[in-house]
């Protein structure tokens, strides 16, 4: 039985789906983690799906305890699962809604990394899907931007404390996902100018679909492992 895996969170759709499909077609064994299954991925013999809610700490602990028992090696752990939340001015977003975004975009990733470390699961590289929003404070993006900025620091911190694993945070650029479907439906573009830019890009080569961007991301993870200091933040557009 193969014991070398790529683990990806948020594989039911979007970037997580695109990356999982890419790695499966390259012959890798992939474990996908998300609340919903994906029938396309399930058809691959080298795909295994773990259906859990990443905000449920007991479920995450149980899964990684079981993986420890299987003595797996993680070639690449891709922390992709994330949520945008509503585009609103920050004063209109209540603290509980902001905390919910942080729970998924930040703390669920800490929990997963902690379980890998605690269970002494060999992990070659951790790649977190960040965002260009981590570097700016555009109107309407408050909790999302803050969560991604915090994610970058989380990755940097773990890198400084765990020298045997390579860590990297990667902004994938514009990708046509369900998040962009929501953004395209918004009307208040004068209040939130960044939304107008994204609406213009949707449906063009500027905003590829997840399956098109997956090979570029996979190549970037590989380059980062070989050539870039652990803990770095990389924007695919740079």
Query: Could you tell me the CA-to-CA distances from 146 to 138, 140, 223 in Å, in that order?
Result: 11, 12, 27
Please state which CATH class domain 4-172+210-235 belongs to: alpha beta
pTM: predicted TM-score of the whole model, two decimal places: 0.96
> Residue 189: what pLDDT?
81
pLDDT at 1: 57
**Residues 27 and 46: beta-carbon distance below 8 Å:** yes
User: Taking the domains of the chain in order of start, what are their residue ranges?
Assistant: 4-172+210-235
Mean pLDDT of each 10-residue bin along the chain, 238 residues long: 90 97 98 95 97 94 95 97 96 97 98 98 98 93 97 98 98 94 89 92 94 98 98 95
pLDDT of residue 79: 98
Q: Residue 52's pLDDT is what? A: 94
Cross-strand pairs, 166: 125
pLDDT at residue 238 in the model: 87
Q: Please report the pLDDT score of residue 140 as a whole number.
A: 95
């Amino acid at each position: 039985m193969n014991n070398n895996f790529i683990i990806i969170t948020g594989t039911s759709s979007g970037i997580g789906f695109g990356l999982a499909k890419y790695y499966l077609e390259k012959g890798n064994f992939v474990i996908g983690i998300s609340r919903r299954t994906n029938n396309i991925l399930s058809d691959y013999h080298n795909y295994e799906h773990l259906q859990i809610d990443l905000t449920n700490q007991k479920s995450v602990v149980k899964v990684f305890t079981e993986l420890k028992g299987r003595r797996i090696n993680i070639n690449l752990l891709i922390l992709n699962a994330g949520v945008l939340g509503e585009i609103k001015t920050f004063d209109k977003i209540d603290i509980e809604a902001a905390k919910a975004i942080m729970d998924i975009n930040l703390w669920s990733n800490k929990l997963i990394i902690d379980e890998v470390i605690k269970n002494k699961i060999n992990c070659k590289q951790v790649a977190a899907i960040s965002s260009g929003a981590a570097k700016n404070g555009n109107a309407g993006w408050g909790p999302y931007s803050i969560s991604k900025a915090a994610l970058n620091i989380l990755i940097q911190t773990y890198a400084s404390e765990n020298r045997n694993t390579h860590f990297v945070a990667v902004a994938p650029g514009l990708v046509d996902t369900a998040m962009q479907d929501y953004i395209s439906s918004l009307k208040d573009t004068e209040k939130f100018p960044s939304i107008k830019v994204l609406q213009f890009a949707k449906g063009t080569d500027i905003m590829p679909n997840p399956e098109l961007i997956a090979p570029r991301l996979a190549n970037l993870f590989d380059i980062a492992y070989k050539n870039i200091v652990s803990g770095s933040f990389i924007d695919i557009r740079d």
